[in-house]
Structure 1
């Protein structure tokens, strides 16, 4: 994290006292209010006062075994949700985003809806049930700035409540620049020269991958090779869906017997990166090594000792 970047305090309230029930999320000094509810608790969620405010909403679920999302807006979100309860049968979770003081108006909501659709399609993690990207309404320069600031907070809150569809893990090729917020302020970046480099090699299968540890993310570099088998489920467990996602979004492209990373990609852990590269579950702290042959595990231990 760059100097001058301040932490923020997120308050989660589990309304039902259960992690899989309704919850609200708010950030100190942010006017936004986020309500997450399973579809089975929709009646109780819509009875809460914020549900009748002006705002935006996300519907999350699956159709034909594949994840799907819908992004909408409304002057009375509860009314929109009641229509979707009857017209869309695939969603299982709803996220209602309003302002605690109900000071968003219709144009604000339409702007936020348009920007969220843009961001979701740019990231490409979750297919959308929306048609075309809605146009942005005409807002004053100050109002646009306020809505962009609103989104900065929202993009921080959503991953904290396990909604990752706006998290961009594809990184630019060439000199690596790491985003320090969900969409990244341009003046808060870490360059590749400040990162720690690791590599993974499997000579038997002709695999070689390079990665950089930057700002807590394990970023496998563009041009790295990964296993090329199409049976993603064999020996790789929960990472099979991640590989399918990387193939479908074009991060992994076919290169002869292998897949090749067309873009740099930020993994949550060295083990996840190692599993995708090798095609089976591995301990990432032992398979990734520095240029002098030190394992990630030993490198980390040396850092902690210092």
Structure 2
């Protein structure tokens, strides 16, 4: 994803013209969302502030690769103007979510105190496995969320690929190493997978059954837990 800004130019062109310009660049995109004011009340300082905030929010969330080459200048807004712009930021985040874009939605929730009578919907799981081909013991953690299985940053990743590894997983692992998202055998960012087996295969570098690999804190496998739930 790319986050940018545009003001009215001397030729009268503005945001839409800037989007069309990107079509001539190497940067490829399929969808664009534009936020504008009805009265052009924001100047370069306000727009730069918003661009900086949105870019940093997207980077921290970590759902997408942010293509911005440099960190945008935050500008020099007053405290009063900053408070006003923060309200707009929350509104924009809400609107993006309604439109189905989870650009600023964290993959996992920020840990909060859990009441004793309320079950946490995000299930923490661990995986421990000794790899025969490398003789290493791999340990990883993930959270099962409403969206799938999020392998957490800090998890160990087996660096060698087995012959049986799915091609999609092999390419993802290679891309992560190239982007330093796997560094010295450790994952440096959260990664979302739709199935427990793909999450486990990504970690172990081979085809595997994630429902037996992933276990709860008390050592119960996902497979056993699901069987107990549906009995």
Shorter chain as normaliser: what TM range? 0.5 to 0.7
Name 2:192's counterpart in structure 1.
267
Cα RMSD, aligned residues only: 3.8
Displacement of 1:274 in angstroms is 0.3
Name 2:57's counterpart in structure 1.
119
- DSSP 3-state at the match of 1:209: strand
Displacement of 1:251 in angstroms is 4.0
Name 1:78's counterpart in structure 2.
16
Matched, 1:298 2:224: yes
**2: distance between equivalents of 1:224 and 1:82?**
41
Deviations 1:135-180 (A, max 9, x none): 335252431231231243255357x35x75x5655xxxxxxxx426
Matched, 1:209 2:139: yes
**1:217-228 equivalences in 2 (<5 Å):** 218-220=149-151, 223-228=154-159
**1: distance between equivalents of 2:217 and 2:59?**
37
Contact 1:289 1:296 in 2 (8 A): yes
- DSSP 3-state at the match of 1:126: coil
Aligned in 2, Cα 1:189/1:246: closer, same or farther, shift over 3 Å? farther
Matched, 1:283 2:222: no
**2: distance between equivalents of 1:215 and 1:104?**
41
**2: distance between equivalents of 1:243 and 1:297?**
26
Displacement of 1:122 in angstroms is 4.1
**1: distance between equivalents of 2:165 and 2:152?**
24
**2: distance between equivalents of 1:236 and 1:132?**
36
Deviations 1:240-273 (A, max 9, x none): 343244334544222xxxx13356x353342232
Runs (5+) with no aligned partner, structure 1: 1-59, 61-68, 170-177, 181-187
- DSSP 3-state at the match of 2:109: coil
Name 2:42's counterpart in structure 1.
106
**1: distance between equivalents of 2:223 and 2:34?**
41
**2: distance between equivalents of 1:215 and 1:103?**
41
Deviations 1:174-200 (A, max 9, x none): xxxx426xxxxxxx7367x96444323
Runs (5+) with no aligned partner, structure 2: 9-13
Which is bigger in relative contact order (C-alpha 8 A, separation at least 6)? 2
**1:75-224 equivalences in 2 (<5 Å):** 75=8, 76-86=14-24, 88-98=25-35, 102=38, 105-107=41-43, 108-122=46-60, 125-136=64-75, 138=77, 140-154=81-95, 156-157=97-98, 160-161=100-101, 166=104, 168-169=106-107, 178-179=108-109, 189=112, 195-204=123-132, 205-213=135-143, 215-216=145-146, 218-220=149-151, 223-224=154-155
Aligned in 2, Cα 1:215/1:81: closer, same or farther, shift over 3 Å? closer
Paired residues, number: 211
**1: distance between equivalents of 2:154 and 2:22?**
44
Deviations 1:198-243 (A, max 9, x none): 32313524233242435446444555432112x6997232223432
After TM superposition, the score normalised by the length of structure 2 is: 0.67
